[in-house]
Structure 1
Amino acid sequence: MNRAQREAAARQIMERTPTPVPPDLYPEVLRRGGRMLRRRKAAARLMWLLLFAATAAFVVWALMARPWVEPPSETTPPLTGW
């Protein structure tokens, strides 16, 4: 199928009358779309809440553990000059 044939086939498809849509389809689409939006919004809020909780837990851990401070020496230096 060359380009001219593809264009002719596409024109024929576009010139056809659209198929009728069932009358009860629109309310069903609105209901499902609204539900999808609510779920996405709830998932986004949950993700933000988890991110905030993880950040708060990290900050509390960092303040308690102080990973930037050098740990105390476990051995004593040798005593010389006694």
Structure 2
Amino acid sequence: MTWAKANMPRHVKNKVEYIDSPKWEVIVATLSLCDHTITTVGSFSWWIGWLTGGEVTYYKWPVRDGSVLGKQFNYSDYFYPGWIGF
């Protein structure tokens, strides 16, 4: 939080709110109101992406090819087809 407050541009036209240790319900409700989101590899992030009303991007290579973890999961099934992988 300290880093975010120190590095967030001060010239953004929209108000920025910092929420310290909110309940997960508050986090989901807040993030679902966003126009866009960048997801991580986790079910919480997946639901935020699903509930977001706009563009959703994700990192499409979360594990190294051929690694033990990479052999356990098919990440192409994990991300919604309309989301943008980079």
Judging by fraction of residues, say which structure has more strand. Answer: 2
Q: Same fold (TM over 0.5)?
A: no
TM-score by length of 2: 0.16
Q: Which has the higher contact order (CA 8 A, sep 6+)?
A: 2
Larger radius of gyration: 1
